[in-house]
């Protein structure tokens, strides 16, 4: 079954997540709030719960505010909802938010080097594999980018 009408609900101190089903939603929200606390997030670049109906299906985030024309996204689907298109829906909405806020921004993502579902999500969205690099937190990863030409 694929997900329909997945929407992003901002995760913030005032967010009331108790209404969304799923045992992982509250711990994920707490972990995300902790991650965001020192990241200098400003609207619209923050973290979101991916929700369909009353189910929290995963979390997604901008890893920081845009810097030097680049913003990195990340997403995680709760295991019970894997394989339903949640990751693609969340990633696509993050790209739309980023480009709606700053049309020229390059949207980046990092994945493990071994082929996985996240790489397929990025490929379906037209994000280009730019090769390997060493992330200070995650070690060897692939860098993916969706670049937009400057307008004007």
**Which CATH number covers residue 38?**
3.40.630.30
Q: What is the mean pLDDT of the segment spanning 55-76? A: 90
Q: Is residue 2 part of a domain?
A: no
User: Which pTM was predicted?
Assistant: 0.82
Distance of CA 56 to the CA centre of its chain: 14
Q: Is residue 48 part of a domain?
A: yes
Q: What is the structure's pLDDT at 73?
A: 96
Q: Is residue 108 part of a domain?
A: yes
Distances (CA, A) of 27 to 30, 41, 51, 89, 103: 5, 20, 15, 22, 33
Q: Is residue 127 part of a domain?
A: yes
Residue with tokens 């209404």: 19
User: In which element (H, E) is residue 71 found?
Assistant: strand 70-77
Q: Is residue 53 part of a domain?
A: yes
Q: Say yes or no to pLDDT of 15 above 60.
A: no
Tell me how long the chain is.
152
Q: Is residue 152 part of a domain?
A: no
Q: Is residue 1 part of a domain?
A: no
Contact of 114 with 36, CB cutoff 8 Å: no
Q: What is the structure's pLDDT at 20?
A: 55
Q: What is the structure's pLDDT at 34?
A: 64
**By residue range, what is the domain housing residue 98?**
7-146
Terminal-to-terminal C-alpha distance of the chain: 43
Question: Per residue in 109-152, pLDDT tens?
Answer: 999 999 999 999 999 999 999 999 999 989 999 999 999 765 54
Highest mean pLDDT among 7-21, 40-54, 76-90: 76-90
Q: What is the mean pLDDT of the segment spanning 84-95? A: 96
Classify residue 42 by its DSSP letter.
Answer: B
Contact of 84 with 114, CB cutoff 8 Å: no
Q: Say yes or no to pLDDT of 46 above 90.
A: no
Q: Is residue 106 part of a domain?
A: yes
Q: What's the number of domains the chain is made of? A: 1
């Amino acid at each position: 079954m694929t997900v329909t009408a997945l929407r992003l609900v901002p995760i913030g101190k005032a967010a009331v997540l108790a209404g969304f089903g799923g045992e992982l939603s509250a711990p994920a929200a707490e972990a995300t709030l902790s991650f965001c606390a020192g990241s200098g997030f400003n609207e619209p670049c923050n973290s979101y719960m991916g929700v369909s109906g009353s189910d929290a299906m995963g979390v997604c985030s901008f890893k920081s505010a845009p810097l030097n024309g680049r913003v990195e996204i990340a997403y995680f689907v709760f295991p019970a909802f894997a394989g339903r298109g949640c990751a693609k829906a969340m990633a696509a909405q993050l790209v739309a938010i980023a480009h709606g806020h700053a049309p020229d921004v390059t949207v980046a993502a990092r994945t493990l080097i071994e082929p996985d579902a996240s790489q397929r999500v990025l490929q379906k969205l037209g994000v280009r594999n730019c090769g390997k690099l060493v992330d200070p937190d995650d070690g060897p990863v692939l860098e993916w980018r969706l670049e937009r030409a400057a307008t004007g």
